[in-house]
Structure 1
Amino acid sequence: MLLEDDDLLRDRILAPKLAQFGFEVVATGSAAQLREAVRQGPPDIFVLDVGLPDADGFEVARSLRATMPDAGIVMLTGRGDSVDRVRGLFEGADAYLSKPVEIDVLVATLYSVARRLHPSPSVARGKWALSPDEWFLLSPSGARVMLSKSERRLLEAMLQHADEVVSREDLISVLTDDIHAFDPHRLDSMVHRLRRKVLAALGEPLPLNAVHGTGYILEA
C-alpha cells in the first residue's frame, strides 16, 4: 500500500513501476485514504511518505506498527537528515529511503522486507532456477527475487540453455516480435540492471556473463 501525496510521483512513477515488478499496489494520497483502504484489506507492506496533507508520516508509521506489528513499513521521504532517519526507524519502519530514490533501490528494499515477512523454505536447490509460477528467480541457497515480465523471458531462455552461450539474436527474439526494431543496447542494459538487482536483493551475484561478440552465458 503506497501513501504519497504527490499525484505525479504516485500515479505516474511509483505505482506503475512497482506493478511492473509484480507488486500489487494500492495507491493512496492521504492518511485518511490510507485508513479507509486498510479497512478494505490490510496489505503486507506499506510505503509511506512523511510529509502528508493531513497527518505526520512518523505518527502514521507508529500507529501502523502498533496495530499491525507483522506488516512491513518502508518510509520514502525528502527528509534525508540522520535525525529523521533515526526517528523513522525508531517509530517502526523497516527501512527509510530518501527522495529521489532509484526505483531499483526501492524494489530491492521491498524484496528484502518481503523475505522477512514470508521467508522461503530452507530447501537445498544447488542451482539457479525459476519458481513454479516463474515470477521469482531462486538462488542456489533458496533465496528469491521477483522478476518483471521481460526479465522472466530472458532468464527462462538462459536457464533452458544453462552453461551454454545464447546468442544476442536469440535473446532479442525472446524479448520482442520485431527484432530489427529492437536496439541491441537495450539487452545489455537489461542484463546490467538484472545483475545489479539480484546482487542488491540477494547479496549474491547472478552468474550471467557476456561472451564478447556472441551473446551471454548463465552458469546455473
Structure 2
Amino acid sequence: MTQPPPALSVALLEDDEALRERVLAPELKTYGFDVRTAGRPAELDAILASAAVDVVVLDVGLPDEDGFSIVRRLRSTPSLGLVLLTARDENTDRVRGLEDGADAYLAKPVAIPVLAATIRSVARRLASGPSTSTASVGADWTFHDGGWVLRSPDGTSVALTAHERCVLQLLHERRGFAVERDALIAALSDGSGDFDPHRLEMTIHRLRTKVSRANAGTLPVRAVRARGYVMLPPDAPATGRR
C-alpha cells in the first residue's frame, strides 16, 4: 500500500498559553498538522535545533524578542515557511513583516481554517519552488502577489510601492537592455506633464535601500550613463555602476 505523505510539521510560538495550548495547537492538529508549541523564542530555537520544521507560526508581540526580529534571523533558512500573527492589522506592520521576510501575515483573531490554508499554501510554494505564474526578475528574483512583492534569490520578500513596481516591471520586460529615462519617467507619470524627473532617481534609490535593509542582496539594476537604467540578466557579472 502507498504510504500517506508525512504530516506538515508546524512550530507555533505564542506567549499566551491559553490561546496556544487550548485553541491554536489543538485546532491545527485537527487539520492534520504535527504541531510543536513554544511560549518563548528560546523554546522555538530548541525546537528548530532538534526537529525538522516546515512552517513557523509566530506572534509579533513577544516578551523576549519581537516577531519581526525572529523572522529576520530565520529568513536565512529559505526552506522554512514563516507566518506572522498580530493583533495589529495595520498596513505599516504588514509591510514591515513582508519586508523582513515573512511569507504571510495574518491579523488576530485569526480563523483557524484561514490559518490552516495559509500554512499549506506557504508549504506548497516552498516545496514546488518559484511558481510558473510568477515573473522572473534578475538572477532568480521573482514577482509575487500580482507584482506587489519582490522576492530575492534567498527567499527574502520586499513589498513594493506602485512606482517601484512600475519601474521594475518595465526594466524586467527589457532585461539586459538599457531602458531610456524618458520611457521610465513616462511610465511613472502616467502621461502627466508635471512629473519631477528626479523622482525616478529617488525611486531607484529607495528600491536599493529597501532591498539592502531587508538583507536581500544587491538589486540587479544598474545606471547607464546618459541613457537610463538596465536590469542585469541572470548570467551577468555583478559589476558596474549602481
Shorter-chain TM-score range: 0.5 to 0.7
Q: TM-score, normalised by structure 2?
A: 0.48
**Partner deviation per Cα, 1:135-189 (whole Å, 9 max, x = no partner):** xxxxxxxxxxxxxxxxxxxxxxxxxxxxxxxxxxxxxxxxxxxxxxxxxxxxxxx
Compute the displacement of 1:3 (Å).
0.4
Alignment partner, residue 44 of structure 2: 34
Q: Which runs of 5+ in 2 are unaligned?
A: 1-10, 130-242
Compute the displacement of 1:51 (Å).
0.5
AA at the equivalent of 2:13: L
Distance between the aligned counterparts of 1:100 and 1:88, measured in 2? 17
Q: TM-score, normalised by structure 1?
A: 0.53
AA at the equivalent of 1:82: N
Alignment partner, residue 112 of structure 2: 103
Percent identical pairs in the alignment equals 55
Compute the displacement of 1:36 (Å).
1.1
Q: 1:118 aligns with which of 100, 116, 127?
A: 127
Q: 1:11 aligns with which of 15, 21, 27?
A: 21
Kindly report which structure 2 residues correspond to 1:93-172, keeping only aligned pairs within 5 A, or say none: 93-119=102-128
Q: 2:66 aligns with which of 43, 50, 56?
A: 56
Alignment RMSD (CA, Å): 1.3
Distance between the aligned counterparts of 1:42 and 1:82, measured in 2? 32
AA at the equivalent of 1:81: E
The structure having more radius of gyration, on CA atoms, is 2
**Partner deviation per Cα, 1:24-54 (whole Å, 9 max, x = no partner):** 0010001011111111123110001011111
Compute the displacement of 1:119 (Å).
3.3
**Partner deviation per Cα, 1:77-136 (whole Å, 9 max, x = no partner):** 11211000000001110100000011111111111112112239xxxxxxxxxxxxxxxx
Task: State the number of aligned residues.
Answer: 119
Q: Which runs of 5+ in 1 are unaligned?
A: 121-220
